[in-house]
Structure 1
Amino acid sequence: MTETIYDNLKQLGSATTLPQSPEEAELERVANPQADVSYVVRFTAPEFTSLCPMTGQPDFAHLMIDYVPGDWLVESKSLKLYLGSFRNHGAFHEDCTVSIARRLVDFLQPRWLRIGGYWYPRGGIPIDVFWQSGAAPEGVWIPEQGVPPYRGRG
């Protein structure tokens, strides 16, 4: 059997457990076979959870991650496990959202990345957090994230 770009993946196709923290979570990547083309990849995590660092109560968000890959693609199961590891992690909404984006940028070195963290209300106030790595590349169709302002999001 010949070697492929997928040979170094450890989590995909294997039994895995949810990492206990974002620091323990292992992101995996594969070479981008379409690296000569600029295109957008979107991940939607409508049931993201973390913990309030002060009360330990759960916080919920709808995360939208858009990126224009360079040489690397994130392997989606490893991303799912990484995002799931925040379930036991105590941090404010802003810290969770920006930390996820920065780790992905450091790991993938994409041409561009943005994240929208649409957090459900705590204390009656929804907190939405947005970050991007710079100006969007020219000539790439980047759709709106389409998450409405809070009015009983669903």
Structure 2
Amino acid sequence: MSAKLYKEINHNTLVAIPNPSKEAYEIKIKIPEFTFLGVKQQPDFATVFLTFYPKKKIIELKSLKQYVYELRDITVSYERLINIFYEHLMKVYEPDRLRIVMICNPRGGISSKCTIDSDWKARGGDEKYKDWMHSNGEDNWNVLM
């Protein structure tokens, strides 16, 4: 396979299924083998954490896995990729809340962490959850392991 540009990322792989509950609940998803090609077409690796508060639709995990697999051949910076990933998930699933944390493996001795939360006013949110405001910068994901 040859590398593709970020404009070729297709959200049509993502499948939504009906939410089986009308009650509020949280879904946490960990993607420990998130890979893509950096802007120099060198492989980049990250662990991605999704926090998802569903409304009418939930994520079909098999389709999420296929979507993530397709990203392996995409040439993109991680800053652009987290934004595209966020936009696609919001468009397909229309959740009450979506938080994405992408922790990139070190490259050249530097690592980074990118976060997007639909609760942020800057992202059009109402800031009704505000749990992100009290974080010390470290998210506790031990419950997923």
Asked if TM exceeds 0.5, the reply is: yes
Structure 2: state its 5+ residue gaps.
Answer: 120-126, 131-137
Structure 1: state its 5+ residue gaps.
Answer: 1-19, 139-143, 149-154
Structure with bigger strand share is 2
8 Å contact kept, 2:11–2:88: no
Partner of 2:19: 32
Equivalences, count: 122
CA distance in 2, matches of 1:65, 1:145: 11
8 Å contact kept, 2:52–2:98: yes
| Percent of matched pairs sharing the same residue | 29
RMSD: 2.1
CA distance in 2, matches of 1:90, 1:84: 13
* Aligned with residue 43 of structure 2, among 58, 74, 78: 58
Deviating beyond 2 angstroms after TM superposition, the runs of 4 or more aligned structure 1 residues are 135-138, 144-148
TM (norm. structure 1) is 0.72
Q: Residues 1-12 of structure 1 correspond to what in structure 2 (within 5 A)?
A: none
**Residue deviations 1:96-146, cap 9 Å, x none?**
1121111101111100000000001122110110001013548xxxxx843
CA distance in 1, matches of 2:101, 2:91: 18
Q: Residues 39-118 of structure 1 correspond to what in structure 2 (within 5 A)?
A: 39-53=25-39, 55-118=40-103
C-alpha distance 86-146 of structure 1, shift in aligned 2 (>3 A)? same
Structure with bigger helix share is 2
C-alpha distance 24-108 of structure 1, shift in aligned 2 (>3 A)? closer
CA distance in 1, matches of 2:93, 2:53: 10
8 Å contact kept, 1:116–1:131: yes
TM (norm. structure 2) is 0.76
Partner of 1:146: 140
Instruction: Write the letter of the residue equivalent to 1:104.
Output: L
8 Å contact kept, 1:50–1:58: yes
